[in-house]
């Protein structure tokens, strides 16, 4: 298990260095996000109307930023769903483990940056919603 306290999902506002030449934002271990980063991936070229995700993770935690464009992240804790609309490159969504997550409503040319606390491990995925509910109810 993780050695830090499991937190709730939350939108985190990132630092913004405003400049006439263009703005700059950043996040770093572990000042802006509540875990040490082991992996970075990004989702791009999503055709209109497509959705991504549709799974949960046992151990993986994520921080999701709409670097460009916009999309929605729907988080489901097994009881209720909450939709987070990401549309600014200086806001990110922290997603703890054991949340069923979907991403949809991608705008044209949107770019989703995702950092996480684990390396890719297919065994960490929960891809069956009924299994997800069983695990949640067991907690």
Query: Which one of 5-13, 38-46, 86-94, 130-138 is the stretch in contact with ligand TYD (CB under 6 A)?
Result: 38-46
Is 58 labeled as catalytic in the residue annotation? Answer: no
Identify the helix (H) or strand (E) that includes residue 129.
helix 129-138
Rule CB under 6 A: say whether 41 interacts with ligand TYD.
yes
Contacting ligand TYD (CB under 6 A), which of 43, 67, 133, 135?
43
- CA dist 126 to 27, 37, 100, 131, Å? 28, 21, 8, 7
Rule CB under 6 A: say whether 44 interacts with ligand TYD.
no
Strands (E), 4-134: 10-13, 16-17, 24-25, 39-43, 52-57, 62-68, 71-76, 81-86, 91-95, 100-104, 111-116, 125-126
Q: Which is nearer to ligand TYD, 26 or 41 (CB)?
A: 41
Query: Which one of 6-14, 26-34, 35-43, 130-138 is the stretch in contact with ligand TYD (CB under 6 A)?
Result: 35-43
Rule CB under 6 A: say whether 42 interacts with ligand TYD.
no
**Annotated catalytic residue, options 14, 32, 39, 55:** 55
Residue partners of 43: CB distance under 8 A and separation at least 6: 52, 103, 111, 112, 114
Rule CB under 6 A: say whether 53 interacts with ligand TYD.
yes
Query: Which one of 9-17, 52-60, 73-81, 86-94 is the stretch in contact with ligand TYD (CB under 6 A)?
Result: 52-60
């Amino acid at each position: 298990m993780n050695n830090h306290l499991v937190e709730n999902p939350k939108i985190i506002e990132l630092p913004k260095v405003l400049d006439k030449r263009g703005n700059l934002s950043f996040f770093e271990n572990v000042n802006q996000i509540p875990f040490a980063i082991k992996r970075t991936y990004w989702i791009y070229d999503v055709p209109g109307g497509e959705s991504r995700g549709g799974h949960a993770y046992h151990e993986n935690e994520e921080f999701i930023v709409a670097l460009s464009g916009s999309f929605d992240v729907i988080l489901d804790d097994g009881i209720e769903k909450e939709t987070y609309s990401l549309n600014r490159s200086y806001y990110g969504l922290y997603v703890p483990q054991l949340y069923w997550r979907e991403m949809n409503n991608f705008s044209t040319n949107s770019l989703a940056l995702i950092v996480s606390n684990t390396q890719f491990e297919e065994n960490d995925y929960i891809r069956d919603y009924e299994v997800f509910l069983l695990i949640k109810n067991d907690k």
